[in-house]
Amino acid sequence: MTQLHTGSPPGIGHDNGMRIIQDVLTGLFRDDESLEGKAAIVLVKRAEVEAAELALKDAEEAAYNAEQALMSDMTAQNLTQFKTGAGQVVKIEERTWPSVLAADRPSQFEWLREMGLGNLIEQKESVNAQTFAAEVRQRITAGETLPEWIKVSVEKKLKIKGESK
């Protein structure tokens, strides 16, 4: 049984391999108006989409790894931000999200009222998530201890602002 090899031949990059396939199919089906010619075009375009998706996935992974390496180096040098020679500000931002299980909502409401924050409780016995998150961030920054029923997730994200000069 013959196996179809979908990768590029050795020594030929993926883009060049795609061009070779496209040239072969175009040569086989010179009449783009025939059903076979249109089917060949569809196959080539699908292969181009797949190649672009793979390239995007690889680029996203490389960008993530580069960001992690840069943040690690900045942290090792006790930097939270720096300015490049081109005028860009590179900054590590920390985002915090508190969450409360539904079973702990009564404790949340009671705690908010005890802290003088009863105004955060909305009419339907719920709390605005963004306002609650801001309040929790303030308390963490102030060094306060939070009740154990508040689960906190923290994500560090690299931000680069400013145009290259």
Question: Which amino acid, one-letter code, is at 53?
Answer: E
Per-residue pLDDT of the chain (165 residues; tens, 9 = 90+): 334 444 444 444 556 666 666 666 566 556 667 888 888 888 888 999 999 999 999 999 999 999 999 999 999 999 999 999 999 999 999 888 899 998 998 999 999 999 898 888 887 778 888 989 999 999 999 999 999 999 999 888 889 998 554
The pTM (predicted TM-score) of the whole model is 0.55
Residue in 153, 155, 157 with CA at minimum distance from that of residue 98? 153
Q: What local confidence, expressed as pLDDT, does residue 118 receive?
A: 87
